[in-house]
């Protein structure tokens, strides 16, 4: 394969050969036919009230769970009661995220879909958009059979915004989770080390630099060794650049500035942030192995056996990642940047909205039954029980109208217990902002702690590039564009942080990105953004 | 023409005489037909805008669109180059299992020999994930074996995993470490079929150890070695994705992005059935052509041929 | 067996070669021992790591003896009762799959090794072509489903039992180790192809049967992908699929979830990382000595010939 002139003819030649290769194996052409899934009779559908059907009807529901969490959530008392009250029997099909990627493409190809798909990780935007004929548009059903959701959409228009597809129809149902913060990750520091060295909580980037330097040099863990790692992560997280005005809430390298979508890796702020990171790296304040280690090594450093060795990081809450040292760590307000401002990733509307929480397939024979069944999830009490666990098992309903969470059984963490007892992050839900005030959480751990530390940063939360939706044409272009561009951005970022030289190669970098099709990517994202904003 | 006619007649004769051989072939032929050839219409996906909902037959034709997209893609030449470099590098290590087999064959202490063999094949069973995790721990510049070794001399350890120039070496030699014992099994088995009387005759003729290796052992291994080599060349673009993917990081990506990892990443974002089939079909065709070429060369020079 | 084996090996008798032979011996064993150390250390590391505190392992504190000795990795693993079902299934798949694999591939390889097989070239290409071109996952799945093999025991041992690579290797082996005049002689005795294959070829080919058997068995033992695609019923799942599900923890989107459960899952996975290897591989490694017996001993073709 020679360069230049050879390459073009090589491409043609290769294409020809491929065509020739096709002469083989043109045997039969297949493709699955949809099969019926719903069982039993018509069921005498009731348009209002319970039960939904007079005669029991069975619906198949597919949902994905993380790792080996299993299907214990189906024992949730609320779900059991629902089955009794509605006479809609649910046959759960629970798949694991480990296997789902492969199984999904087979399920789509074979056309054997269940009646209902539940959970926003089961089918993603592109799965739905590329196979629209498998799913029912739900606008009419919402109108006729889903009074709870309809009311919720009127109260919180965001719900409709996120679930409207590019063709203007709603194919998937949204969720608003209860008691969610506005901030995403927040700066977390080893408070015990600060006290040990008699230092103040760092307020700006200059002070942060001094604190990290002190962590490195003054042996705050007191074991006589210079084994402290002031800052570590698996790869440089964009969170580290927050003080410079870079926030990346949904991990897409996009921000919104003055109402316009911006690709931040080509911005001046980004450049300044990386210069700062390079300065810290070259002085050993950032883990030397940051770009090569895997999650296991990062986690082992955070939970080092004899003494804590990590000083500073950005986390959802300080208690999750540090194991037995979590008591030493505390969240702090956002670090001010060189411009004196503070920025925190998150969403001013709250990190509480998801779409694709429920889909009704065209294989479903009783879409109106499915819709009425789904609507039962959109009440306040149903939603909290599907987020934490049933009232009486996990949630305690108090006489004064408030709700508190019970303690998990000994040896189980609260979060793991909720995952065991409920649909948790997945499935349709709506908790109204007014009802939320009645939920009282323990401010010392998990969801309650997050809400507590949220107060440190929520006034600095920036408007993120929203979770927009793309058309199937756009989905054809996006993967190659983002794979090339993201990987190049990550490579250069790693190089600039570890070796410096950003000023010299910056222009070349921007040019390279444009050659890779950055403008096209921006156009696709801007179009999608405009569509998103225009939904009323 | 005439000769051909006679040939055909004779062939029919052997066909009748050797019917037993076709009986032996039958199960493999039938299974291959049903489970390899029958689904082969799937290659059409590469030439269509495949959507699962429409099926392979129902999806619209895309022609060579996806091939052009790949050939024009920004990463095309880099991924091909990286794949070929890694592949050729590992091809160089091809004789190592042969040397190991020859060495094992020279061991006369039976217990030791068996112990050696057993140990040498054990690393083969370590899963890729753990293997790469192990490499990260051992090669860590701050806490790993390498890091500690440098510390002894008071020097700063190099970041091996973060160096693009070393990526192929680390990949290939860790592979050798993991699979050399396993790969030598077939050669050891081939050596076991050497007629012992050959060794005895050679000893009587006054041949030394090296002579016996050179004139008895190595010729015995050549057909197997050539066959495996041909197959290996036929897998040139087929460097597996898992290990490379796990070893990748932002610092070494310039030399660690290969065809299979690139396809995987694109598929992760959204299932690109047609695009990834097109890439893998390209891959396959190149490999198949290479196989035919190498087989032709081998036929000419060593009389070994796959067909 | 052992003594017979050693006597077949060349006798070092000639005085002239004594010294250089000794030197060669030293080189061979010296090199072998060095090689053993390089090979064994990481294996030893895995064993001690399986008894150590996972964070000490990942932080590079475990090198020669376990640190923070613990059996938690094993305890946690054995909490999953379904690994016993997995063991049972994997053993069944391996034993039956290997038997079918040998029965399909060895005869085919032998037939293809015969130069007087009419259509040999076509048949070889027929197989080799499938090493390169395949219809891909989706059409193969549809085919399996059309044969009603989805979610059955059979799908794990039959459809993918033809391994072309193995056929080619075995064919080469037959070509080099079975002399052609043996067939000529058998024919004169009125022996047909099938009887010749069973009574003469197979007994002479224990070495390649052992190698192929080992390859196929290890392949079945380690495979999980077919199970992932073609099996739905958890009672049919093989060990590797179950272990994979125990071990792999997908990063939940931290930031959207609270992440604590994810952290716990990651910690458990790190804890079991090394014990899983021990549990999963020790049984199959026990098979090796049995196979080894067959390819370490010289085959007495000379005896058959005379």
Tens of pLDDT along A62-88? 999 988 788 999 999 999 999 999 999
**Average pLDDT score over residue span A324-350:** 94
For B264, the 3-state DSSP assignment is helix
**Model pTM?**
0.87
- Residues A493 and A418 placed together within one structural domain of the fold: no
What's the CA gap between A89 and A115, in Å, rounded?
12
Predicted confidence band of residue C13 (pLDDT cuts 50, 70, 90)? very low
| Yes or no, beta carbons of A416 and C261 under 8 Å apart | yes
Contact A351 C67 (CB under 8 A): no
Q: How far is it, in rounded angstroms, from Cα B188 to Cα B144? A: 35
d(CA C263, CA A299): 9
The pLDDT, as a whole number, for residue A110 is 85
Mean pLDDT of A134-147: 96
Q: Are residues A66 and A174 in the same domain?
A: yes
Residues 349..368 of A with a Cβ closer than 8 Å to C: which?
351, 354
Is the C-alpha dihedral spanning A188, A193, A195, A199 positive or negative? negative
| Chains touching C by CB (3 or more pairs below 8 Å) | A, B
> Is A332's pLDDT higher than 80?
yes
Is A467 a member of any domain? no
Same domain assignment for residues A257 and A210: yes
Picking from A30-39, A136-145, C134-143, C150-159, which range would have the lowest pLDDT averaged per residue?
A: A30-39
Residue B12: the pLDDT is 64
- Crossing angle of helices C206-222 and C260-285, rounded to 10°: 170
CB contact under 8 A, A493 and B250: yes
Residue where a domain terminates, one of C9, C43, C70: C70
Candidate from A97-111, A249-263, B222-236, C99-113 with smallest mean pLDDT: A97-111
- The CATH number assigned to the domain holding C239 equals 1.10.3720.10
Mean pLDDT estimate for chain A: 89
Instruction: Give yes or no for residue B35 having a pLDDT over 50.
Output: yes
Q: With contacts defined as CB-CB under 8 Å, which chain B residues touch A1?
A: 80
The region of weakest confidence among A318-327, A496-505, C1-10 is C1-10
Residue A11 domain-assigned?
no
Rounded mean pLDDT, B109-131: 89
Chain mean pLDDT for chain C: 85
pLDDT in tens, A111-120: 889 999 999 9
Task: With beta carbons less than 8 A apart as the criterion, state whether A181 and A314 touch.
Answer: no
Residue C4 included in any domain: no
Mutate to test the interface with A, among B74, B164, B267, B279 (most CBs of A within 10 A): B74
Residues of chain B neighbouring A131 (CB-CB closer than 8 A)? 51-53
What's the mean pLDDT in A369-375? 96
The chain A residue lying nearest B41, using CA atoms, is A26
What is the edge-to-edge ordering of all strands in the sheet holding A329-331?
A229-231, A310-315, A186-190, A329-331
Q: Give the model's pLDDT for residue C199.
A: 92
Determine what percent of chain C is predicted with pLDDT higher than 70. 86
Rounded mean pLDDT of A232-250?
94
In a domain, A410, yes or no: yes
Q: Are residues C153 and C259 in the same domain?
A: yes
Locate the chain C residue with the closest alpha carbon to B204: C14
User: Which of the listed residues A301, A331, A361 is the one where a domain comes to its end?
Assistant: A331
pLDDT (mean) for B80-99: 95
Examine the pLDDT at C10 and tell me if it is beyond 70. Answer: no
Find the closest chain C residue to B9 by CA distance: C118
Q: Kindly state whether residues A173 and A40 are assigned to the same domain.
A: yes
Task: Examine the domain organization and report whether C35 and C152 are in the same domain.
Answer: no
Q: Does C267 touch chain B (CB under 8 A)?
A: no
How is residue B24 annotated by DSSP? H
What pLDDT, in 10s, does the model give residues A45-68?
Answer: 888 888 999 999 999 999 999 887
Q: Which of the residues B11, B175, B184, B192 would you substitute to probe the C interface, choosing the one with the greatest number of C C-beta atoms within 10 Å?
A: B192
In a domain, A338, yes or no: no
**Domain range for A171:** 28-180+352-444
Quote the tokens at residue A58. Answer: 């069975």
Residue A7 lies in a domain: no
Neighbours of B294 (CB within 10 A): 19
User: Are A173 and A222 found together in one domain?
Assistant: no
pLDDT value of residue C249: 61
Contact C296 B41 (CB under 8 A): no
Q: How far apart are CA A343 and CA C260, in angstroms?
A: 25
Does B28 contact C11 at a Cβ distance shorter than 8 Å? no
Lowest mean pLDDT, pick from A351-360, B7-16, B292-301: B7-16
Structural domain of residue C203, as residue ranges? 83-303
Query: Do C138 and A109 form a contact (C-beta atoms < 8 A)?
Result: yes
To the nearest whole Å, the CA of B228 is away from the closest chain A CA by: 24
| Predicted pLDDT at C8 | 39
Contact list, A25 vs chain B (CB under 8 Å): 37, 40-41, 43
Q: Are B181 and B119 in contact (CB under 8 A)?
A: yes
Highest mean pLDDT among A430-439, B198-207, C22-31: A430-439
**Is residue A432 located within the same domain as residue A476?**
no
pLDDT at A43: 57
Model confidence at B99: pLDDT above 80: yes
* Residue C273 domain flag: yes
Mean pLDDT check: name the lowest of A265-269, B34-38, B126-130: B126-130
Verify whether the Cβ–Cβ distance B107 to C299 is below 8 Å. no
Are residues A161 and A246 located together in one domain of the fold?
A: no
DSSP state of B86: H
A residues 105-134 near C, CB within 8 Å?
105-106, 109-110
- A215 and A145, same structural domain? no
Whether chain C has a CB inside 8 Å of the CB on A65: the answer is no
List of residues 6+ apart from A148 with CB closer than 8 A: A375, A376, A378, A379, A430
Residue A244 reports pLDDT greater than 60: yes
pLDDT greater than 80 at residue C300: no
Same domain, C103 and C48: no
The DSSP letter of residue B298 is H
Residues in chain B: 307
Indicate the number of domains in chain C: 2
pLDDT at B10: 58
Residues A318 and A357 in one domain: no
- Which of helix, strand or coil describes residue B259? helix
The mean pLDDT value for A188-211 works out to 96
Chain C residue closest to B196 (CA)? C8
The pLDDT of residue C298 is above 80: no
Interface of A with B in 228-257 (CB under 8 A): 235
Q: Are A395 and A385 in contact (CB under 8 A)?
A: yes
Q: Range with the lowest mean pLDDT among C1-10, C50-59, C89-98?
A: C1-10
Where do the H-state alpha helices sit in B76-124? Answer: 76-92, 96-106, 110-121
**What is the pLDDT confidence band of residue C296, given thresholds at 50, 70 and 90?**
low
Residue A387 lies inside a defined structural domain of this protein: yes
In this prediction, residues C207-230 reach a mean pLDDT of 93
Q: Span C222-234, mean pLDDT?
A: 91
Q: Establish if C2 belongs to a structural domain.
A: no
More confident residue, A27 or A63: A63
Mean pLDDT of A367-385: 96
Q: Which of C138, C245, C263 faces A68 most closely, judged by CB atoms?
A: C245
Contact (CB, 8 A) for C237 and C86: yes
Q: Which of A331, A366, A381 marks a domain boundary? A: A331
Q: Kindly indicate the confidence band of residue C297, based on its pLDDT and cuts at 50, 70 and 90.
A: low
* Average of per-residue pLDDT across A136-150: 96
Tell me what pLDDT residue A10 has: 47
Most confidently modeled range among B89-98, B297-306, C37-46: B89-98
Q: For strand A186-190 and strand A329-331, is the pairing parallel, antiparallel, or unpaired? A: antiparallel
What pLDDT is attached to residue A216?
96
CB distance A14–B75 less than 8 Å?
Answer: no
Whether C66 is covered by a domain: the verdict is yes
Say if B159 is an interface residue toward chain A (CB within 8 Å). Answer: yes
Same domain for C46 and C110: no
Query: Do A190 and A94 lie in a common domain?
Result: no
Residue burial B24-47, b: 16+ Cβ < 10 Å; e: rest: bbebbbebbeebbbbbbbbbbbbb
Beta-carbon separation of B288 and C168 below 8 A: no
Mutate to test the interface with C, among B7, B9, B20, B39 (most CBs of C within 10 A): B39
For residue B257, the chain A residues in CB contact (below 8 A) are: 487
**C8 domain residue, yes or no:** no
Query: Which of the four pLDDT bands, split at 50, 70 and 90, describes residue C4?
Result: very low
| Burial degree of C251 (CB within 10 A; 0-12, 13-18, 19+) | middle
Task: Tell me if A14 is assigned to some domain.
Answer: no
Q: Is the pLDDT of residue A30 over 80?
A: no
Contacts of A249 in chain C (CB under 8 A): 255
Q: What is the pLDDT of residue C299?
A: 52
**In this structure, are A149 and A197 located in the same domain?**
no
Q: How far is CA B79 from CA B88, B258, B261, in A?
A: 14, 4, 9
pLDDT digits 0-9 by tens, B215-246: 999 999 999 999 999 999 998 888 888 999 99
A279: CATH: 3.40.190.10
Is C262 among the domain residues?
yes
Backbone dihedral region for residue B305 (phi beyond 0: left; psi -120 to 50: alpha; all else: beta): beta
Compute the average pLDDT of residues A11-20: 46
Q: Which of A331, A366, A397 is the last residue of a domain?
A: A331
Cβ–Cβ of B54/A487 closer than 8 Å? no
Residues C206 and C267 in one domain: yes
The verdict on a CB contact (< 8 Å) between A111 and B251 is: no
Q: What was the pLDDT predicted at C268?
A: 81
Instruction: Give which of A436, A445, A457, A422 is closest to A179, Cα–Cα.
Output: A436
User: Is A284 among the domain residues?
Assistant: yes
Q: Which residue has the higher pLDDT, A205 or C306?
A: A205
Instruction: Please give the pLDDT value at position C193.
Output: 92
Tens of pLDDT, residues B251-282: 999 999 999 999 888 887 777 889 989 998 99
The reply to whether residue C264 touches residue A305, judged by beta carbons under 8 angstroms, is no
Neighbours of A, requiring at least 3 CB pairs below 8 Å, are B, C
Q: Look at A320 and C58 and tell me if their CB atoms are within 8 Å.
A: no
CB B241 within 8 Å of CB B261: yes
Contact yes or no for B52 and A109 at CB 8 A: yes
Question: Residues 218-247, chain B: which have Cβ within 8 Å of A?
Answer: 246
Structure-model confidence comparison of residues A21 and B47, the more confident one = B47
pLDDT in tens, C165-210: 999 999 999 998 888 888 988 988 888 999 999 999 999 899 999 9
Q: Please choose, from the candidates C250, B241, C39, the residue with its C-alpha nearest in 3D space to the C-alpha of residue A66.
A: C250
- Position C103 scores a pLDDT of 97
Handedness of CA A229, A233, A239, A244 (dihedral sign): positive
Q: Give yes or no: residues A374 and A436 share one domain.
A: yes
Total structural domains in chain A? 3
Q: In a 10 Å sphere around its CB, with 0-12 CB exposed, 13-18 middle and 19+ buried, how is residue A238 labelled? A: buried
Q: Contact at 8 Å (CB) between B259 and A496?
A: no
Query: Stretch A452-467: mean pLDDT, rounded?
Result: 94
Interface residue A66 vs chain C (CB under 8 A): yes
């Amino acid at each position: 394969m020679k360069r230049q002139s050879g390459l073009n003819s090589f491409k043609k030649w290769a294409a020809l050969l491929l065509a020739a290769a096709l002469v083989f194996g043109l045997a039969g052409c297949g493709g699955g036919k949809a099969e019926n899934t719903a069982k039993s009779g018509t069921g005498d559908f009731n348009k209002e009230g319970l039960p939904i059907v007079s005669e029991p009807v069975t619906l198949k529901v597919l949902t994905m769970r993380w790792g080996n969490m299993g299907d214990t959530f189906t024992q949730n008392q609320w779900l059991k009661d629902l089955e009794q009250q509605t006479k809609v029997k649910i046959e759960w099909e629970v798949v694991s995220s480990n296997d789902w990627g492969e199984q999904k493409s087979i399920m789509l190809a074979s056309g054997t879909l269940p009646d209902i798909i539940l959970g926003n990780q089961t089918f993603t935007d592109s799965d739905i958009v590329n196979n629209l004929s498998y799913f029912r548009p739900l606008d009419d059903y919402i109108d006729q059979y889903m009074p709870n959701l309809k009311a919720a959409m009127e109260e919180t228009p965001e719900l409709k915004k996120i679930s409207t597809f590019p063709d203007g129809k709603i194919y998937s149902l949204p969720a608003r989770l209860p008691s969610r913060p506005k901030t995403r990750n927040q700066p977390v520091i080893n408070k015990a080390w600060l006290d040990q060295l008699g230092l103040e909580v760092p307020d700006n980037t200059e002070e942060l630099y001094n604190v990290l330097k002190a962590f490195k040099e003054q042996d705050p863990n007191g074991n006589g060794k210079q084994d402290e790692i002031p800052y570590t992560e698996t790869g440089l997280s964009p969170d580290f650049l927050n003080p410079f005005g870079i926030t990346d809430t949904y991990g897409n390298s996009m921000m919104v500035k003055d109402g316009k979508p911006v690709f931040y890796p080509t911005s001046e702020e980004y450049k300044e942030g990386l210069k700062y990171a390079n300065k810290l790296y070259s002085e050993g304040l950032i883990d030397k192995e940051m770009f090569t280690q895997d999650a296991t090594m990062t986690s082992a450093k955070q939970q080092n056996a004899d003494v804590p060795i990590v000083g500073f990081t950005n986390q959802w809450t300080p208690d999750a990642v540090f194991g037995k040292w979590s008591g030493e760590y505390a969240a702090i307000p956002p670090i001010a940047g060189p411009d004196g401002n503070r920025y925190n990733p998150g969403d001013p509307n709250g990190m509480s909205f998801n779409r694709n929480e429920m889909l009704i397939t065209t294989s479903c024979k009783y879409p109106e039954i499915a819709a009425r069944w789904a609507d039962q999830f959109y009440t306040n009490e149903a939603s909290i029980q599907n987020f934490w666990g049933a009232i009486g098992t996990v949630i305690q309903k108090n006489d004064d109208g408030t709700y508190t969470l019970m303690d998990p059984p000994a040896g189980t963490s609260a979060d793991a217990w909720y995952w065991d007892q409920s649909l948790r992050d997945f499935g349709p839900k709506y908790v109204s902002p007014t009802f939320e005030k009645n939920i009282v959480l323990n401010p010392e751990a998990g969801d309650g702690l997050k809400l507590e530390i949220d107060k440190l940063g929520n006034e600095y939360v920036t408007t993120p590039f929203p979770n927009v939706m793309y058309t199937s044409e756009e989905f054809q272009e996006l993967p190659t564009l983002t794979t090339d561009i993201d990987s190049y951005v990550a490579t250069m970022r790693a190089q600039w942080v570890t070796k410096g030289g950003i000023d010299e190669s910056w222009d070349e970098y921007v040019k390279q990105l444009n050659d890779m099709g950055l403008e096209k990517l921006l156009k696709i994202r801007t179009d999608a953004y405009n569509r998103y904003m225009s939904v009323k | 023409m005439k000769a051909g006619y006679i040939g055909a007649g004779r062939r029919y004769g052997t066909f009748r005489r050797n019917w037993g051989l076709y009986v032996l072939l039958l199960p493999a032929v039938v299974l291959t037909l049903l489970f390899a050839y029958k689904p082969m219409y799937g290659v059409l996906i590469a030439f269509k805008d495949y959507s699962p909902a429409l099926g392979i037959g129902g999806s619209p034709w895309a022609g060579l669109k996806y091939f052009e997209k790949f050939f024009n893609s920004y990463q095309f030449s880099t991924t091909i180059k990286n794949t070929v470099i890694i592949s050729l590098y590992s091809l160089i290590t091809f004789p190592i299992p042969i040397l190991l087999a020859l060495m094992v064959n020279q061991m006369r202490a039976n217990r030791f020999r068996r112990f050696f063999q057993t140990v040498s094949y054990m690393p083969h069973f370590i899963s890729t994930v753990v293997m790469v995790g192990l490499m990260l721990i051992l090669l860590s510049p701050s806490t790993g074996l390498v890091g500690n070794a440098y510390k002894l001399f008071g020097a700063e350890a190099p970041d091996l995993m973060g160096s693009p120039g070393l990526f192929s070496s680390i990949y290939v030699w860790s592979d050798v470490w993991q699979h050399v014992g396993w790969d030598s099994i077939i050669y050891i088995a081939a050596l076991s079929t050497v007629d012992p009387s050959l060794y005895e005759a050679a000893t009587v003729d006054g041949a030394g150890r090296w002579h016996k290796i050179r004139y008895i052992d190595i010729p015995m291994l050549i057909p197997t070695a050539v066959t495996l080599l041909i197959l290996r060349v036929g897998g040139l673009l087929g460097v597996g994705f898992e290990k490379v993917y796990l070893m990748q990081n932002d610092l070494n990506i310039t030399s660690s992005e290969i065809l299979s990892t690139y396809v995987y990443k694109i598929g992760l974002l959204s299932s690109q059935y047609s695009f990834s089939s097109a890439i893998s079909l390209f891959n396959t065709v190149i490999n198949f052509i290479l196989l035919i070429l190498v087989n032709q060369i081998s036929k000419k020079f060593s009389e070994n041929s796959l067909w | 067996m052992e003594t017979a084996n050693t006597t077949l090996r060349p006798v070092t008798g000639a005085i002239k070669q004594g010294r250089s032979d000794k030197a060669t011996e030293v080189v061979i064993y010296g090199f072998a021992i060095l090689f053993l150390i390089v090979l064994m250390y990481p294996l030893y590391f895995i064993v001690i790591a399986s008894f150590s505190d996972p964070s000490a392992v990942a932080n590079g504190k475990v090198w020669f003896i376990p640190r923070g000795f613990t059996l938690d990795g094993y305890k946690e693993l054995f909490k999953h009762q379904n690994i016993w079902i997995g063991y049972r299934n994997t053993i069944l798949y391996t034993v039956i799959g290997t038997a079918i694999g040998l029965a399909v591939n060895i005869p085919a390889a032998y037939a293809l090794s015969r130069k007087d097989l009419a259509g040999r070239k076509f048949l070889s290409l027929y197989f080799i072509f499938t090493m390169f071109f395949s219809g891909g996952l989706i059409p193969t799945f549809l085919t399996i489903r059309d044969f009603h093999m989805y979610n059955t025991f059979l799908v794990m041992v039959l459809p993918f039992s033809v391994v072309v690579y193995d056929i080619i290797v075995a064919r080469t082996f037959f070509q080099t180790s079975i002399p052609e005049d043996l067939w000529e002689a058998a024919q004169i005795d009125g022996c047909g192809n099938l009887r010749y294959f069973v009574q003469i070829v197979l007994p002479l080919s224990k070495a390649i049967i052992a190698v192929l058997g080992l390859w196929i068995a290890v392949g079945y033992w380690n495979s999980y992908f077919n199970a992932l695609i073609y099996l739905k019923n958890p009672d049919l799942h093989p060990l590797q699929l179950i272990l994979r599900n125990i071990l792999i923890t997908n990063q939940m989107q931290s930031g959207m979830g609270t992440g604590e459960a994810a952290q716990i899952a990651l910690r458990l996975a790190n804890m079991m990382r090394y014990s899983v290897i021990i549990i999963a591989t020790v049984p199959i490694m026990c098979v090796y000595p049995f196979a080894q017996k067959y390819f370490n001993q010289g085959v007495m073709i000379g005896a058959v010939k005379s």
